[in-house]
Every structure is written in C-alpha cells, then in structure tokens.
Structure 1
Amino acid sequence: MANTATRSFLQVAVTEEAAPPLRVVQIEGLVILKIIKHCKELSPALVTGQLLGLDVGSVLEVTNCFPFPIREEDEEVEAEGANYQLEMMRCLREVNVDNNTVGWYQSTMFGSFQTGELIETFMNYQENIRRCVCIIYDPSRANQGVLALKALKLSDTFMELYRTNNFKGEKLREKNLSFVDIFEEIPIKVSNSALISAFMTELEADTPVTQFQFYYRNLSRQEAQKQAWLQKRRAENAARKNAGEEPLPEEDPTNPLFKPIPEPSRLDSFLITNQIANYCNQINGVAGQSFSRLYLMKALHEK
C-alpha cells in the first residue's frame, strides 16, 4: 500500500486532463502472473507494487508492474523506498518500456482490503493522476480454485465527500450514498501480445478432437484425389481401348492415394467420457441425498 514514499514518488507524475469514464482495465497476462507470483511468495504478509501502462480513452492498459520493497515504519527507509521506485522508473524508461503510473496492486487476506488506508492512498494518487486503479489479489482464495483478482477505484461521489470530510447523515442521504457506493469495480480484460498468442498456439498439444478433425479432413481430401485419379485413368483406358491396347489397372498399390490413413486412437476419448460419467454420477448421488433431506425436513416442519 502506498505511503509517504509513494507520495513523494507521485510528484513526478503529470496531472491529466478530463477524460471519458473508465470502462475497462486491460491487463497483459504476464502482468497478472507477476502480481500473483509476488503475492503468493510472501503470503500471508501483505505486499504492494506499482502498475504501469497507458490511459487510452475509456480503457486503462496495464502493460507492466514491479513490486515495492517491504514497508517499514521508518522515515529513512521510506525515503529509500521512494528512491527505489524512481530508479526503477528510470531503468524502464531507458529500455523503452511503458513507465507511466496507472495505479498500484496489493494483496489481501480474506477480502479485508476496504480500509481507511486504502482510501487515503487513492486520494494521494488522485492528486497527480486523474484516473488510476488498485488491483486487489487474494491468495487465500487461490486454494479454492478462484482467481480473486479485481480492479477498484473510488467513486466520484465518495471522493467529493471525502475531500470536504462531510459524512453526516443528511449529506449521505442527499448524495444517496451507501457503504456499497464507496468503491467501483472496473471489469478486467486479459490480453496478450500477438507474439505471445502465437507462441502459446505453438505450445498447445493436439487434443483428441483436433486429431479426429485432421483425420476426417485428410480422409475426405484423399477420397477426392482418388476419384479424380480414377476418372483420369478411365479416360486414359477408354483411349487405349479405341487404339486396341490393353487397359491399365484402375488401382495402383504404389500410389500414395491408395494407402489407408491411420485412424487416431480413441482411448483418450473413452477415458475422458468415463471421467465425465463418473462426475455426473457423483453429482447425481449428492443431489439425490440432498433432495431427500430437504423433503424429510419439509415433512417434519409440516407436522
């Protein structure tokens, strides 16, 4: 989370003019992997980092990030943190990498991120950056198979009240502001460069479905080529017959067109089908028991 060091660092940012409403946060896949790696490696300690990218119309593009040093409650250490951030920005600029600040990321545990410190950090960023977001990642939910990644910003109404420090009941009712209106969640869109997409395509192994598609496509192409060859041979034999010559055979074992194409194994498909059937049976069994309990409880309540 940003601190005094971050505030000092943000003084180098340029204040932006009025921009259209932010609709989407577009994050490159590599950035997401770097955020997850940083947050998981130091979990359960909470970590933060800088988000870099471009503000393009209604889309905030996040193209890079780097971690912040572990924060210490010491002014000298905080000054070193600010120097570290400035040095990182300088290095990125020298290698021609996007170095515009578009926000920060931070980890959380069990969703406990909505704090006064987060709001203060947002306000500090807003002093120099008109539009910025905070990417929240919860490593504790990763064990449950959930990618707990969300992009947040403060609502304009809440920021207006926060600047005036007016949170009286009358003012809240006037602005129609409730606790759910403090933060706005911005949809996240994951993108990859064309080179990465092409590389991932090359890495993908052929699935059984793809293999059977190629098999039937090649089989159809071979059959068409075989029919064209037979028509040509029959026309040639008709000419030879008119000339009193012996016809040529209509099948040539040496011709690749007459060699059968090997069919892919169906073992993987059978195993996958078996797994799906097993999962369905388990779901059916659990659902059946649950419904039986519900009907039993309903009958007991009625009595």
Structure 2
Amino acid sequence: MSAASVAAAVVAGASKPEASKAGVATVAKAAAGLTQAERPLTDLDIAALELVKSAKQAITSVRLDGLALAKIVKHSKDAHPSAATGALLGLEIAGALEVSNVFSLPGNALGSSSRDRGVSEDQDAEAQVGKGVTRYTSAMLSLLRDVNADANPVGLYYGCFLGAFLSSAVIDGLWAISSLMEREGTEGKGRAILLVHDLAQSAMGNTTIRAFRLAPSFIDAYRRGKFHTQALVDHKLTFSNVLVEIPVTLHNTALLDALLSTLSAPSDAAPSILPPTSASLLQRSTSAALDTSAALNHNLTFALPPVLSTSLESTLEALDEHASEAGNIGYQLRQLGREKARAEAYLSRRRAENALREQQGLPPLPVEDVNKLFKLQNEPSRLEGMMLLGQLDEAAKRLAETAAVGSVQLHAVKTGAI
C-alpha cells in the first residue's frame, strides 16, 4: 500500500483529539484580538498564546521514552529480515518532541517503491493491503483513546538492517504524517519525525536510534512535486540533505528505573571445554602467554564476522538497484529526446509548407498541437535515483566500518597476535 493511505488513516483516527487543540487555538486567537484596555489577559490566555507561538517553532530535539524504544527494538527483531514500520505517538512542546508510545503497523505498511510497481495486479493487491492497514490504524487509535492513552501521531519509526532506510516510500509516509501537524499555514510541514533503528548494530551489542526530519529545501521541492534535474539544482538537493538529523535523548520512568535496578550484571563465563570465540580471543592482552598448538587450531577456524559478508552483499545489491534505476532514467530520456526531435521536424516541415503556400497565395495549413501528435512526456523524476544513491552511500559506509574491523583481525592472525 502507499504511505499516504497509512497516514490518511492516522489523520482520520486523530481528528477527535485535535478538537480540543483547535479550541485552544481559537481561544488564543480571540485573546490576541483584544487589547489590554478591553480585557487583561489571564494566565490561561497567556498559556494559549505561548502554545500557538511554540507550534511554529522547528523541532530541535526528541525525547524518547524507554518503553517506546523497547517496543521499537523488539518489533525490528521480530520482523527481520523484513523492515519494521510503526507510528509514533506523543506531544510537541516548544520545539521538543516527546515520544511516549508507539504501535507497529502490519508488514509492508509503507508499500514498495514506485520503481517496483507497474503491474495492475500488484497495484490492486497493494490497494487491498492499504485498506486493511487503514482499518487497523483507525481501530488502534480509537482503542488508545478509550484507555486515555496518547493517541496523537507525531511521526514514524523504521527498523532497518545495516542502515539502509532512505527510500521514496519512507519519505512519502513521513510527508503524509506531517500533514497532521500542520496547524498554522505551511509552518507545520516537515514537523513529523522519523526514528531509525539499525538491527545490525543491536546484534553487535550497540543499540542505536536516530531521529530525522525533512529538510526545508526538500519540503519546498516536494510541495511543488517536481524532481527533475533543474529542480534539484535550484533547490540544491542531494541525498545527504533530504533529511536533517536531530538529537535524541532517552527518558525512563520511575517504574522502569526500579526494574533496571533489580537486574543483575551477567556473571563471568564458567570454564568450558569448547574453544574460545574470536571475540574472547581479541579481549586477551597481547602480552599474555598463548599456547602454540591451541593458537594454531584457533587460527584454522578463525572466521570473519557474518556482518562483513552481509555488508558486502548489501552494498552490491544497492549498487545493482542504482544502476538499474539509472538505466531506466537513461532509457526514458532517450525516448523523450526522440519524440522531441520528431516534433521539431514536424514543426519545421509545416513552417516550410506554409511559407511555400504563402508565396503561392494559398492559405496556410493549421499547426496542430504537437502534444497530441507525439508522446511528449515530462522529464522523469530523479527522486527515486537520489534515494537509491543515498542507500548506496550508507551501505558503503557500513562496509568500510566492518571491513576495518575485519582487516585488523586478519592482520592479527597474520602477525601471530592471535
């Protein structure tokens, strides 16, 4: 399904809670229209004015609840190897977005990208999935309101593997969700955030969460709906400035802190007859004595971590996808060039005929609309290619990081340090 349909369900489900906020905004505007001589502002009026003023501020930070982070990590792990997507619920206060709860969306909620669609059967199936996700999202928001829980969508979360998350489907979903937060003209566009969790980092014991929002230049280009070459140049858009990263802070409730205090640290591993792993070998001091025969056996079974091979495969896949998209763009441009050449030839021929008829005293022939005679389409969008280039760049960075660790391990084996 398309990301816009998911966001439409979120918009429909969140319409009721916004009535109170609309009332506050109305009170604030009414209070703003009165002068001090007519009626002094009360504390409630001042608070309402501050709320309206803060609604126009750009989001500069994200405060994530610990329980929400745990839900995101669990969903990403359960959904692997597929991507995990879900909605963020919370509240924006003076440029700081507080995410207090999340709920997951069904699989393939954001749908496939535009380059993967084109068959009518696939589009019909995607529409059916979209209707199901719409009903699911509306029901979830309704149930959350029934138990007086936060039911105000503020963004999306995306669980990826090896950092590949930038795609047109994710951007479409983020843009659609941001429509919810548009309360004062166009200032609300781009206020929705995207939380990205990399499952590969968690597998290596380093849980990471990153927050992004749409860049102002990309918002302007997206509003115009043009991503041809000249539009990208005018807005100075590349894959690196589509999103703006903002800092994330983690907040734990008192109950969660109490639970963490009861957890004990893992004890030292008991003696085992099995050979030590590569990680335990690397933790040994370089000056520690090592049995020669044992080291030889371990060197024979020493293997690079699976993340290295997976990173290489991910980079090659991203490279193939980008090359395929570049080939499609090139083919469309060649087709467009041929049609334009045919149209120019037709116009030149018709001008020559009319000039000859004018010399003969005959009325000129009408010049028909070339758009009806030839398939003069617009220049193909470069948005998908830019997104794929961003995925390739991210995959290459991950490959460089993991390859550096693998190179150190291989050098250690070669020099006999392990």
Gaps of 5+ in 1: 208-267, 269-275, 295-303
Distance verdict in 2 for CA 1:198–1:55, change over 3 Å: same
Q: Could you tell me which of 49, 58, 69 is aligned with 2:86?
A: 49
Q: Could you say what the CA RMSD is over the residues aligned between the two structures, in angstroms?
A: 3.8
1:135 to 185, 195, 199: 195
Partner of 1:159: 219
TM-score (norm 2): 0.47
- Contact map agreement 1:46 1:108 (CA 8 A) in 2: yes
Counterpart of 2:164 in structure 1 is 112
Q: How far is 1:136 from its partner?
A: 1.3
Q: CA deviation at 1:168?
A: 5.6
Q: CA deviation at 1:138?
A: 2.0
Aligned position for 1:227: none
Shift of 1:290: 6.3
Secondary structure of 2:138's match?
A: helix
Indicate conservation of the 8 Å contact 1:31/1:63, yes or no: yes
Residue matched to 1:60: 97
Aligned to 2:260: 200
List gaps (5 residues or longer) in structure 2.
Answer: 26-51, 110-124, 182-187, 269-279, 291-406
Paired amino acid for 2:152:
N
Which residue pairs with 1:239 in the alignment? none
User: Once the two structures are superposed, what CA deviation does each residue of 1:240-268 show, in whole Å capped at 9, x if it has no partner?
Assistant: xxxxxxxxxxxxxxxxxxxxxxxxxxxx9
> Greater CA deviation, 83-92 or 3-12?
3-12
CA deviation vs aligned residue, 1:16-74 (integer Å, no higher than 9, x gap): 96432212111111111111111111200112111111111121111111111224734
Establish whether residue 30 from structure 1 lines up as the match of residue 90 from structure 2.
no
User: Which of residues 87, 97, 104 is equivalent to 2:139?
Assistant: 87
SS state at 1:102 partner? strand
> 2:285 is matched with which residue?
281
The code of the aligned residue for 2:286 comes to Q
How do residues 1-303 of structure 1 correspond to structure 2 at under 5 angstroms? 2-11=3-12, 12-13=14-15, 14=18, 18-71=55-108, 73-129=125-181, 130=188, 131-167=191-227, 172=232, 175-201=235-261, 203-205=262-264, 279=283, 281-282=285-286
Shift of 1:2: 3.1
Equivalent-residue separation in structure 1 for 2:168 and 2:160 (angstroms): 14
Q: Quickly say closer, same or farther: Cα 1:283–1:185, change in 2 above 3 A.
A: farther
The share of aligned pairs that are identical, in percent, is 26
Determine the structure 2 residue equivalent to 1:241.
none
> Do 1:29 and 1:191's aligned partners in 2 also have CA atoms closer than 8 Å?
yes
Asked if structure 2 preserves the Cα contact closer than 8 Å seen for 1:53 and 1:102, the reply is: yes
Check 1:143–1:75 CA distance in 2 against 1; reply closer, same or farther (3 A cut).
same
Q: Distance in 1 between matches of 2:144 and 2:217?
A: 35
Whether the aligned pair in 2 keeps the contact of 1:49 and 1:105 (CA below 8 Å) is yes
Deviations 1:101-157 (A, max 9, x none): 111112223222111112212221222223211111221332223323211111111
Residue 378 (structure 2) aligns with: none
CA contact (8 A) 2:210 2:248 kept: yes
Residue 137 of structure 2: SS of its match in structure 1? helix
Does the Cα contact within 8 Å between 2:9 and 2:137 map onto a contact in 1? no
Larger Rg: 1
Which one-letter code corresponds to 1:157 in the other structure? S
Change (3 A) 1:96 1:143: same
Is the alpha carbon distance of 1:165 and 1:146 closer, same or farther for their aligned partners in structure 2, counting shifts above 3 Å?
same
CA 1:283 to 1:55, structure 2 compared with 1: closer, same or farther past 3 Å? farther
Give the 3-state SS of the residue equivalent to 2:176 in structure 1: helix
Q: For the structure 1 residues 78 and 178, does the alpha-carbon distance in structure 2 shift closer, same or farther, using more than 3 Å as the test?
A: closer
- Between the two proteins, the alignment pairs up a number of residues equal to 229
- Structure 1 pair 190/87, CA: closer, same or farther in 2 (3 Å)? same
TM-score, length basis structure 1: 0.63
Q: What secondary structure is seen at the aligned counterpart in 2 of 1:127?
A: helix
Report the residue type matching 2:164 in the other structure: S
8 A Cα contact 1:71 1:78, kept in partner: no
How far the C-alpha of 1:199 sits from its partner, in A, is 3.8
**Is contact 2:158-2:195 (8 Å) kept?**
yes
Residues in 2 aligned to 1:198 and 1:80: alpha-carbon distance in whole angstroms: 39
Is 1:50–1:104's contact at 8 Å kept on the other side of the alignment? yes
Secondary structure of residue in 1 paired with 2:3: coil
Equivalent residue, structure 2, for 1:221? none
Structure 1 residues 20 and 5, CA gap change in structure 2 (3 angstroms): closer
Residues 93 and 204 of structure 1, relative CA distance in 2, 3 Å threshold: same
